[in-house]
């Protein structure tokens, strides 16, 4: 996420399945019935910062979301979510995260649920018969209403489904996905997605992934279907509906470039994305192959004050581009496609793995295009952080309130510069490429990154460096 800056004067607040940990990105055949005694799935995923976010007892494999918005000027939807999941325990009942909206019906494997209860932001489902451990099951939730964004202690804007009076879009980091679909709303449970968006003819609807079809209906509506084939964290899901101009072009290595600009500002914001193919090629040379088959920017005519790396289609408020260096903002969100989207967080505490890496990518792009060298930017940033009188928690444990603070972005990036100066350029970029390759489509922790850095560099003395930059209050000096 970006609420953007490359020095301590501001910050860029934007916004990968853990290889093990019981996460599954594809359904498995159902084994024989389990002998476990069925028990309720947990009402949270166990995140220290957001204990009520997500749920336990299952891992979602795929979301199929059919959403109808009959009039973009009115904030009303009717929708059906078909959720394919695999049980990680024998379940007597399970929860989905859902805020507001009216639930019409719930079925599990084709049978009406015995009980459906609303407990705060939880949709508690008791299936007609218990679900055996390690079996794949399908839940269908029909729901409707006026989705509303929700507040979060991490950023000063509402998150989730945002209606603008003439359309809508989504900005969900860190806890807004449940405002518009029933979900296991934690980044540790990534899944693939299909979106079927029904809107009036003449209205544009976009979502993550590839456009599969655009099918007119006799009712004067059009169904736009998109498929995101690679696992995605729920906060990265994007839907936008309204008056947009969509452009498609060929990018490097067969990657499709799709940009979506609100029509009233399209001509003004298009130049900010002219360098996207060059950025992709440059970052590929440093981080490895681009992790998806399509990418572009979605720009809304709203003063959001931030941008978010929604997978394959990063969203930007027009003010983030007009009030800042657009090359910085665009490069930041693009870098997140590797760091945050393909390789995702296991817990929110490790947010520096997203934001510190994307901020460092800004510095790299700036240097690559003739701007300040990374070493100069890093030292200037360190000097400015030292002059700040505002308390800043270390980036390795910033707290809920500091999730998108300067420490996470800037001191997180300085951690990478300290590592680079310690191990040398060749080892440093080999570390980044290995980390991206090892945890592609999965989740990772700070400990995972440190393990990769230790293995690739052959240095067994890196832990004190990471401790001093990530977990201790005093700001260290950069290595000479």
CB 313 within 8 A of CB 298: yes
CATH number at 58 reads 2.60.40.1730
H or E segment and range at residue 315 = strand 314-317
Given a cut of 50, whether residue 433 has pLDDT beyond it is yes
Is the residue at 173 inside a domain? yes
Q: What is the DSSP letter of 410?
A: I
Count of structural domains within the chain: 1
Residue 51 tokens, joined: 């204990």
Closest CA to 360 of 423, 320, 416, 314: 416
Report pLDDT for 190. 98
Report pLDDT for 260. 98
Closest CA to 193 of 232, 222, 224: 232
| Omega prior to 364 cis, within 30 of 0 | no
Is the residue at 124 inside a domain? yes
Is the residue at 473 inside a domain? no
Is the residue at 111 inside a domain? yes
Coil/strand/helix, residue 418: helix
Flag whether the pTM goes above 0.85.
yes
For 2-36, write each residue's pLDDT tens digit. 754 444 433 444 433 333 333 333 334 444 445 78
Report pLDDT for 29. 40
Neighbours of 150 (CB within 10 A): 17
Residue 381 tokens, joined: 């940033």
Kindly write down the DSSP assignment for every residue of 282-311, as one continuous string: HHHHHH-S-SSSEE-EEEESS--S-EE--T
Q: In the beta sheet, which residues pair with residue 192?
A: 62
Is the residue at 105 inside a domain? yes
Residue range 46-59: average pLDDT? 97
Is the residue at 226 inside a domain? no
Residue 6 tokens, joined: 């490359």
Is the residue at 230 inside a domain? no
CB 361 within 8 A of CB 329: no
Query: What is the C-alpha to C-alpha distance for residues 66 and 89, in angstroms, rounded to an integer?
Result: 28
When the pLDDT of each residue in the chain is averaged and rounded to a whole number, the result is 93
Report pLDDT for 34. 53
Q: Report how far apart, in Å, the C-alpha atoms of 410 and of each of 257, 358, 465 are.
A: 29, 10, 16
For 381-399, write each residue's pLDDT tens digit. 999 999 998 889 999 999 9
Q: Report how far apart, in Å, the C-alpha atoms of 464 and of each of 100, 354, 393, 425, 458 are.
A: 46, 21, 18, 20, 15
For the chain, the distance separating the N- and C-terminal CA atoms, rounded to the nearest angstrom, is: 31
Torsion, CA 265, CA 269, CA 273, CA 274, rounded to 10: 100
Report pLDDT for 1. 86
For 288-337, write each residue's pLDDT tens digit. 999 999 999 999 999 999 999 999 999 999 999 999 999 999 999 999 99
Is the residue at 442 inside a domain? no
Report pLDDT for 5. 44
Report pLDDT for 270. 97
Range of the domain at 32: 24-189
Residue range 141-162: average pLDDT? 96
Report pLDDT for 3. 56
- CA atoms in the 13 A half-sphere facing the CB of 104: 10
Closest CA to 135 of 90, 95, 96, 93: 90
* Unique residue bearing structure tokens 């009402």: 43
Report pLDDT for 467. 98
For 166-199, write each residue's pLDDT tens digit. 999 999 999 999 999 999 999 999 999 999 999 9
CB 259 within 8 A of CB 404: no
For 412-431, write each residue's pLDDT tens digit. 999 999 999 999 999 999 99
Cα dihedral sign, 21-354-322-270: negative
Query: What is the C-alpha to C-alpha distance for residues 279 and 368, in angstroms, rounded to an integer?
Result: 10
């Amino acid at each position: 996420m970006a609420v953007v800056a490359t020095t301590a004067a501001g910050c860029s607040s934007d916004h990968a399945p853990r290889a093990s940990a019981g996460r599954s990105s594809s359904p498995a055949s159902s084994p024989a019935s389990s002998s476990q005694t069925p028990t309720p799935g947990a009402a949270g995923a166990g995140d220290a910062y957001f204990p009520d976010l997500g749920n336990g007892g299952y891992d979602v494999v795929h979301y199929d979301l059919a959403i109808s918005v009959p009039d973009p000027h009115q904030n009303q939807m009717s929708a059906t979510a078909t959720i394919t999941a695999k049980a990680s325990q024998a379940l007597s009942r399970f929860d989905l995260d859902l805020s507001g909206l009216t639930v019409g019906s719930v079925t599990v494997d084709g049978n009406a649920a015995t009980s459906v209860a609303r407990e705060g932001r939880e949709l508690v489902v008791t299936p007609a018969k218990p679900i055996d451990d390690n079996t794949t099951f399908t839940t269908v939730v029909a729901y409707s209403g006026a989705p509303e964004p929700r507040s979060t202690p991490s950023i000063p804007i509402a998150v989730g489904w945002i209606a603008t009076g003439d359309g809508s879009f989504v900005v969900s980091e860190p806890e807004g996905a449940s405002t518009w679909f029933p979900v296991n709303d934690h980044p540790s449970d990534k899944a693939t997605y299909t979106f079927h968006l029904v809107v009036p003819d003449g209205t544009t609807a976009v979502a993550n992934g590839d456009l599969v079809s655009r099918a007119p209906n006799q009712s004067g509506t059009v169904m736009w279907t998109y498929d995101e084939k690679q696992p995605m964290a729920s906060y990265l899901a994007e839907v936008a509906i309204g008056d947009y101009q969509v452009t498609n072009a060929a990018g490097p290595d067969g990657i499709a470039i799709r940009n979506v600009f609100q029509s009233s500002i399209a001509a003004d914001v298009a130049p900010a994305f002219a360098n996207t193919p060059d950025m992709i090629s440059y970052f590929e040379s440093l981080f490895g192959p681009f992790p998806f088959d399509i990418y572009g920017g979605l720009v809304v005519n709203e003063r959001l004050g931030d941008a978010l790396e929604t997978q394959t289609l990063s969203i930007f408020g027009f003010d983030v581009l007009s009030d800042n260096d657009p090359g910085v903002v665009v490069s930041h969100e693009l870098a997140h496609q590797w760091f945050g989207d393909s390789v995702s967080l296991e817990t929110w505490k490790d947010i520096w793995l997203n934001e510190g890496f994307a901020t460092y990518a800004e510095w790299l792009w700036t240097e690559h295009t003739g701007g300040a060298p990374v070493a100069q930017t890093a030292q200037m940033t360190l000097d400015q952080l030292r002059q700040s009188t505002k308390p800043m928690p270390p980036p390795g444990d910033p707290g809920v309130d500091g999730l998108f603070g300067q420490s996470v972005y800037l001191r997180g990036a300085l951690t990478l510069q300290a590592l680079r100066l310690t191990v040398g350029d060749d080892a440093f970029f080999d570390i980044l490429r290995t980390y991206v390759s090892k945890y592609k489509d999965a989740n990772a922790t700070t400990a995972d990154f440190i393990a990769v850095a230790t293995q690739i560099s052959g240095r067994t003395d890196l832990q004190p460096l990471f401790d001093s930059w990530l977990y201790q209050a005093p700001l260290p000096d950069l290595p000479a």
